[in-house]
Structure 1
Amino acid sequence: MSPCPRPDLISRYAAGDVGLDDAAGWAVEAHLESCASCRALLVDAVDPPTQDLLDRVARTVAAGIAVGPAPVRRRPWRRTGVLGRSLPWLAVAAGLMLAAVGFEKVYPDLPSLVLLVAPVAPLLPVAAAWSRRTDPAWELLVSTPRNGLGLLLRRTLTVLAVVLPVLAAAGWGTGHSPALWLLPCLAFTAGSLALGALVGVDRAAVGLAAAWAAGVIVPSISVGHLPAVLGAGSWPGWAAVTGALTAAVSLRAAGIRRPGGHRS
């Protein structure tokens, strides 16, 4: 331990003497950390108003430590995770499928709304699961090295794990072949991921959903029959498209960097 500084030096340090050079002040500070007797001299050298302030601060800090922080009230309904952030859109997707089943049962002469809606049912939840607007941890996420295709696929599979059972129930309830609702659904999901490397997954998903609604759903309802792309023999084409788009996702993996992002 260094030798104790002179009492007058400690007094000047306590008083904040501007004439005390930096080197001497640093030496006093370093010594005070390991010398209780000099710290006692420092307390005696402090003027009464300052000492009173220090005492009040010490009492306040001690009281706060003794009481501790108030317990955080946890809300069991608080939305967390991918499903929590996508929950409103998952509810929308489920509601659309249930409405499609209802319309198909009530109006059997209309083209199958289940087949028309199934391809785009998961797109809005996928967009919500990979959007910076719905992800409070976005800034933390973009700083991690695993923020690319692997994370996107995990989030997409989480969404599909919720949406596909609803589609399966709707398809079973209306008697449609699984290939006619499953393959278009997977094809559009893969298409949103592949196109997302260029324009962002959220934009791609919303754009594809809007294009399908305007180009297929509305015209099919207007003319009263399903288009050829949803006919009984269309599933091989959907299978080929799904495979090609899945391969494109792998090739464009470098362009998927972050939620809401696109090619870097």
Structure 2
Amino acid sequence: MVLVKKEMIKEIPALHLAKQDIWDEKLPLIIFVHGFTSVKERNLHVAYMLAEKGYRVILPEALLHGERSENLNELELTLRFWSIVKNTIHEIETIKDEMVKQGLVDSERMGLAGTSMGGIITLGAFAKYPWIKTAVSLMGDPAYVDFAKLQINKLQKVVKELPFTEEELQNEFEGLKAYDPTQKLSDWNVRPLMFWHGQQDPTVPYNNAYSFYEKLKPLYKMANVELSFHLEEKAVHVVTLYAVNETVKWFEKHL
């Protein structure tokens, strides 16, 4: 039987899943991050499937979402998008450290996954932390600066005036470079990585992720490490059952 417990990991609300009969053992860890305007509970189905396979799964609540909501509207949240992304990247390490401290995880077997904003966070954290053995990005975009510019273009169509100056905007783009995985190709740490994307996704277009995948391919081929990109022809900005099943298979194989 799989147990689901609500916990506070430091100051981060989270759902914690693992099989009851092995709850106190050191298990491989998977942190699974939800999407923008979503909540941790929305990923319980995939977390349950992973826990059934013997993994310890943590579903954290991102800043300003769910239990951490400050009742901002979608526009206000959008303006905080990259602050949320960067904050969650740092909180992923906090969660890992706490699980290791509690003696609940195998520190050699730790993975990360996420959907949409969570996929974006996954790619940034994977670039930053060598302790992540494998990762799955579902609808994520690794090109932080390019995607931020796309967001600004969309915003300009719905608001009369942006609430920041051109100089502030350029400073934000510059600051994102330190987190942007596409800026770190020369020192990329090759570990198993899976992408999934809907070809018809209008929210996070697949192009940047696929371009990054193509650039990574020679590195992975040289190291003989698996790199995979699943592009579903008719899928939009919704994780399909196929994507969920492939995610579970990926972790079974690589973690």
Q: TM-score, normalized by length of structure 1?
A: 0.28
Higher strand share: 2
Q: TM-score, normalized by length of structure 2?
A: 0.29
Higher helix share: 1
Larger Rg: 1
